[in-house]
Amino acid sequence: DAGVIQSPRHEVTEMGQEVTLRCKLISGHNSLFWYRQTMMRGLELLIYFNNNVPIDDSGMPEDRFSAKMPNASFSTLKIQPSEPRDSAVYFCASSLPGAQAFFGQGTRLTVV
């Protein structure tokens, strides 16, 4: 397995544009986590899924953020409309329940 794969690796967009981040889980994993990392706030849990169902989205900062799992191996995190304060590195990670998590390489988002 190639591990958790995120795309794109880098994204630069203008304020107000829609941004979609993508994540492919490791085959067989049924827990999926989305995190945002900034210098100011560290590594924040945005939302996590179990068996394709969102369990806790209390970390999603605003209604501009949404996440989906259309199938067991794929997830998207969408920001619409994007704002400069959304600039951060976004990570997804997958795991078996309660076990170690495997992280993707992250998407560095810059909103100008």
Using rule CB under 8 A, residue 40 touches another protein: no
Euclidean distance between CA atoms 18 and 56, whole angstroms: 23
**Cβ closest to another protein, residue 12 vs residue 15:** 12
Q: How many CB atoms lie within 10 A of CB 67?
A: 20
Query: Which residues are bridge partners to 33 per DSSP?
Result: 48, 93
From the CB of 101, what's the least distance to another protein, in Å? 6
The token pair at 69 is 């799992």
Query: Which residues on adjacent β-strands are paired with residue 54?
Result: 49
**56 touching another protein, by CB under 8 A:** yes
Q: Are 23 and 92 in contact (CB under 8 A)?
A: yes
> Is 100 a binder of another protein (CB under 8 A)?
yes
- Pick 80 or 105: Cβ nearer another protein: 105
Residues that bind another protein (CB under 8 A): 4, 30-31, 33, 35, 42-45, 48, 50-51, 55-56, 59, 91, 93, 95, 97-106
